[in-house]
Amino acid sequence: LQSYVGFDSITSQIEKKLLKRGFQFNVMVVGQSGLGKSTLINTIFASHLIDSKGRIQPDEASRQTVEIHSFTEAIVENGVKLRLNIVDTPGYGDQVNNENCWEPIIKYIKDQHSSFLRKELTAMRDRFIQDTRIHCCLFFISPTGHSLKPIDIVVLKKLTEVVNVVPVIAKSDSLTIEERIAFKHRIKEEMKFHNINLYPYASDEDDEQDSALNDSIQDLIPFAVVGSEKTIVVDGKTVRGRQNRWGVINVENENHCEFIHLRNFLTRTHLQDLIETTAMIHYETFRSKQLLALKE
């Protein structure tokens, strides 16, 4: 005789616990200076970052990012608390000698893993550990319309070994739609040729729905984005956009660019998976290497 014991209430118990604790989401932006990294971050999280002290100031003269800089914002939507941590990095590849210019970035990512591991190994390991591990690295590609730069390939290789990398075509308003499609195609081929392993990764645990969602994302990557901190008026409506020599770009119009797709991907469809994948793949790889080294 089977009887109902009621453990199915575990889902609401988990939910309650998770909601109480909230979510920590850490995003890093990487790419050459002037590609619109700071602007895009402000555009994605605009309504939340305005007037906050962490907001990247739009003061052109003083805004160039000179060192790795992070700021945290707590966002609450419908009772769900999200602690968003943005890590802005200085443009790499701007020097005459670019040898090892990516090292501070890779070191920063590894340092977060290492500090998490240290806390995990201490006596009070059941206490809640503040997660500073980077869950997503947005990689900015210059909109040349030709191909990736050799330095980009080197940096992408290094990054994909330690973090979920999501490439974007920066300032895509500087390309026509046809140029953008051709460029995207070219970048995909180059990534494949150089065996650059981008997020999302295929997994045995994926059901049909997961694989379909991942396929549609893989199709879109690299997202062709446009950022803007300014609003413009289109047909009497105020929208976030840019005015250029061809006309007006509405950042949130999916016929104009893929900003909306990137934002949905980051904040709606893949937030939890980016966090989980970081813990289960990137952090685990780091952890097992470290623990093996300790044994030897």
In degrees, to the nearest 5, what angle opens at C-alpha 117 toward C-alphas 111 and 119? 105
- The CA distances from residue 113 to 6, 7, 109, 118, 157, in Å, are 38, 34, 7, 9, 19
Instruction: Specify the residue for token string 């006596």.
Output: 123
Which residue has the CB atom at the shortest distance from Mg ion? 38
Three-class SS state of 61? helix
112 binds, among ligand GDP, Mg ion, none (CB under 5 to 8 A by kind): none
Q: Is the distance from CB of 270 to CB of 200 less than 8 angstroms?
A: yes
Q: 19, 199, 26: which is closest to 116 by C-alpha?
A: 26
Q: Of 101-109, 110-118, 145-153, 168-176, which segment contacts ligand GDP by CB under 6 A?
A: 168-176
| H or E element, residue 116 | helix 103-121
User: What would the two tokens of residue 106 be?
Assistant: 């890779």
User: What would the two tokens of residue 60 be?
Assistant: 């052109």
CA 279 to chain centre: 15
State the number of binding residues for ligand GDP (CB under 6 A): 16
Interface with ligand GDP in residues 83-112 (CB under 6 A): 91
Interface with Mg ion in residues 50-89 (CB under 5 A): 65
Instruction: Specify the residue for token string 């500087």.
Output: 174
Instruction: Specify the residue for token string 């990294």.
Output: 37
Instruction: Specify the residue for token string 């210019």.
Output: 101
Q: Of 97-105, 166-174, 204-212, 277-285, which segment contacts ligand GDP by CB under 6 A?
A: 166-174
Instruction: Output the smallest distance, CB 39 to ligand GDP, in A.
Output: 3
Q: Is the distance from CB of 165 to CB of 141 less than 8 angstroms?
A: no
Q: Using the rule CB under 5 A, is 38 a contact of Mg ion?
A: yes
User: What would the two tokens of residue 40 be?
Assistant: 């895009």
Q: Of 33-41, 143-151, 168-176, 210-218, which segment contacts Mg ion by CB under 5 A?
A: 33-41
Q: Which is nearer to ligand GDP, 175 or 275 (CB)?
A: 175
Instruction: Output the smallest distance, CB 6 to Mg ion, in A.
Output: 53
Q: Of 36-44, 103-111, 199-207, 278-286, which segment contacts ligand GDP by CB under 6 A?
A: 36-44
Instruction: Output the smallest distance, CB 59 to Mg ion, in A.
Output: 12
Q: Using the rule CB under 6 A, is 118 a contact of ligand GDP?
A: no
Q: Using the rule CB under 5 A, is 42 a contact of Mg ion?
A: no
Strands 80-88 and 237-244, bridge-based pairing: unpaired
Task: Pick from 25, 27, 38, 200 the residue near ligand GDP by CB under 6 A.
Answer: 38
Interface with ligand GDP in residues 40-79 (CB under 6 A): 63, 65
Q: Which is nearer to ligand GDP, 39 or 278 (CB)?
A: 39
Q: Is the distance from CB of 68 to CB of 88 less than 8 angstroms?
A: yes
Q: Using the rule CB under 6 A, is 256 a contact of ligand GDP?
A: no
Interface with ligand GDP in residues 183-242 (CB under 6 A): 226-227, 242
Q: Which is nearer to ligand GDP, 130 or 255 (CB)?
A: 255
Q: Using the rule CB under 6 A, is 167 a contact of ligand GDP?
A: no
User: What would the two tokens of residue 109 be?
Assistant: 């990512």
CA 45 to chain centre: 12
Instruction: Specify the residue for token string 């869950």.
Output: 135
Q: Which residues make up the interface to ligand GDP (CB under 6 A)?
A: 33-39, 63, 65, 91, 171, 173-174, 226-227, 242
